[in-house]
Amino acid sequence: MTTNKSAIPWFGFALVIIGAALLLTKLHVIDVKFSTIFWAVVSMFGLVAAARGFAANYRWKIFWGTLWFLYGLFFFLRTSDIADIRGHIFIPASFLIFGVAFFMMYSNDVREWFFLIPAVVLGGAGAIFILADLDYVSYWEVYDTVRMYWPIVLIVFGLGFIFRRKNSQPPHNVVS
């Protein structure tokens, strides 16, 4: 009987890294906050999970691994002093992160084109709202445009479901 367990004890490595970083902080060798270490480890786990999903051709592992990696990276950058990321950008960043996760599932198997729909919609919305937050585009113009044209999202999702169902039906066998 074979098990499907990883050959590398990732959880053990994470505990060693976190413990060593906390000990070095207590000894005043390094000056790092626990949250910074935690989010870096979460990001690494997500990256490993996404890579394993690509290797095993398992799309949901790719999706969740990408989410863990990007959220870990977001919070790592926010808790460290590397970048100035304000808290109110969390929602637009979440749209962008989910868009990237759907795009990663599409990039695993390009025949599953329907993953491009949420990737473009969510990723595009997140990117536009982040650009508005950074004052590259006017927030009110973005708000008015979204308020006016949001039903297009429903139309695109509906078309995606229609064509996905149509293409995924098995062919009818004709016996003569």
Which pLDDT tens digit goes with each residue over 62-115? Answer: 999 999 999 999 988 888 877 777 777 888 899 999 999 999 989 888 888 778
SS3 84: coil
pTM value > 0.85 = no
pLDDT one-digit tens code per residue, 35-56: 777 888 888 889 988 998 989 8
Q: Token match 């919305």: residue?
A: 125
| Number of other CB atoms surrounding residue 43 within 10 Å | 20
